[in-house]
Amino acid sequence: MITSVPSTLLIGLVEERLNDEDCVQRGWILDGIPETREQALMIQTRGIIPRHVIVLSAPDMVLIERNLGKRVDPLTGEIYHTTFDWPPASEVQGRLVEPPGISELETAQKLLEYHRNIVRVLPSFPKVLKVISADQPCVDVFYQALTYVQTSHRSNAPFTPRVLLCGSVGSGKSLQAALLAQKYGLVNVCCGQLLKEAVAENSRYGRDLQPFFEKEIAVPDSIVGKVLGQRLGRRDCTQKGWVLHGFPRDLDQAHLLDHLGYKPNRVFFLNVPLDSIIERLTLRRTDPVTGERYHLMYKPPPTLEIQARLLQNPKDAEERVQLKMDLFYRNSAELEKFYRQAVAVNGDQDPYTVFEHLESGIIHPLPNKVL
């Protein structure tokens, strides 16, 4: 029996492969994933942002007929087709076998599942999506796809965006940063992830960070500022712009960022009520067997057996979440005064509704606040 690979594990493997040197230098083509909206959001939060997304579309009957004609050479693994690609050698013809799972009923069931999911996946890639008809010669399909991937998306932003997202833990900063990075080609800079990468790479600043990570204590602002300044000073951030989240968290850090010369030209505060944050975080669970992540309200486990073995991350305990929220509330008032032109956004709604508000704040002039 073939079981599906958990999304968390699958995307972790994809992320590991895309971080290899050849993918970084030459680019990559991702096929077969994401299959669901959950996977689409998951790859975006991990910074996997495609520049072009192509959907190959054809009538179901055409796809079913194509699938029924597939044959596989068990010796070489080569795939043939009874109509479009039949091998000339009689020896090869004689050993071809029909692969499992291609019957009309099985193919129709797969197509039904695809249609259910694709309508929820497509909104995850606004402005970079193109649908190409696959019901035409493959050469024509190829050249249409090639023409599209050779185009450069033009940003609607009238300036180089330097976006700062402020918000409490669980407010959705990571997802919104990924969406903005995808839409406008910005560099997604997560301060916490940046520090972890510096330690993992054993860089000069990483060695300074190591003792604080080992003792699980706060890293001094002076070291954080050096790591952050080094990243924001790179050419990609200068040319494309950036979206920063996870820093600053208090007034001193805001002054430090300003002193380093990295002043955001758009600042958003994602406001989410305490009850919603508690609900979002304290109900998160992880399956220690598969690594799959669940939420007891939004994504409950499929069976009682799985539910019984789920574990909660200690950082998601209500007491720790409440402590982080209290700290955020104490500092947010001063940050809002420092960033006088900041825009407050209701983060307690659908992620794409939140994104529309953020996008509007980027492409439109800043509002004049009445003192």
Give the residue from 149, 181, 205 where a domain finishes.
149
Dist CA 304 CA 320 (whole Å)? 27
Give the E-state strand segments of the chain in sequence order.
53-57, 70-72, 79-81, 129-133, 162-167, 187-190, 242-245, 266-271, 284-286, 293-295, 343-346
125 and 169, same structural domain? no
Which pLDDT value is given to residue 6? 86
302 and 273, same structural domain? yes
State the CATH number of the domain containing residue 129.
Answer: 3.40.50.300
pLDDT digits (tens, 9 = 90+) for 214-254: 888 889 999 999 999 989 988 888 888 999 999 999 999 99
Which pLDDT value is given to residue 371? 34
116 and 221, same structural domain? no
166 and 86, same structural domain? no
Dist CA 346 CA 171 (whole Å)? 10
185 and 122, same structural domain? no
Which pLDDT value is given to residue 189? 95
Quote the number of domains for the chain.
2
201 and 325, same structural domain? yes
Closest by CA to 266, choosing from 333, 344, 193, 172, is: 344
189 and 67, same structural domain? no
Average pLDDT over residues 132-160: 79
Which pLDDT value is given to residue 166? 95
76 within a domain of the structure (yes/no): yes
Question: Residue for token digits 């509704």?
Answer: 353
Give the residue from 115, 149, 183 where a domain finishes.
149
251 and 324, same structural domain? yes
273 and 345, same structural domain? yes
| CB atoms inside a 10 Å sphere around CB 163 | 25
Closest by CA to 256, choosing from 232, 212, 226, is: 226
33 within a domain of the structure (yes/no): no
pLDDT digits (tens, 9 = 90+) for 269-280: 999 999 999 999
- Confidence band for 1, pLDDT divided at 50, 70 and 90: very low
Average pLDDT over residues 9-37: 87
pLDDT digits (tens, 9 = 90+) for 66-125: 889 899 999 998 999 888 888 888 998 899 999 998 888 998 999 999 999 998 888 888
Task: Name the residue range of residue 198's domain.
Answer: 162-363
Give the E-state strand segments of 155-241 in sequence order.
162-167, 187-190
Which pLDDT value is given to residue 370? 39
138 and 199, same structural domain? no
Which pLDDT value is given to residue 153? 61
204 and 284, same structural domain? yes
pLDDT digits (tens, 9 = 90+) for 314-371: 999 999 999 989 989 899 999 999 998 899 999 999 888 999 999 888 877 655 543 3
Dist CA 224 CA 150 (whole Å)? 38
Mean pLDDT (the chain) is 87
8 within a domain of the structure (yes/no): no
State whether residue 157 is helix, strand or coil.
coil
pLDDT digits (tens, 9 = 90+) for 183-216: 888 999 999 999 998 888 888 888 888 888 888 8
Average pLDDT over residues 168-186: 90
Which pLDDT value is given to residue 152? 67
Average pLDDT over residues 276-298: 90
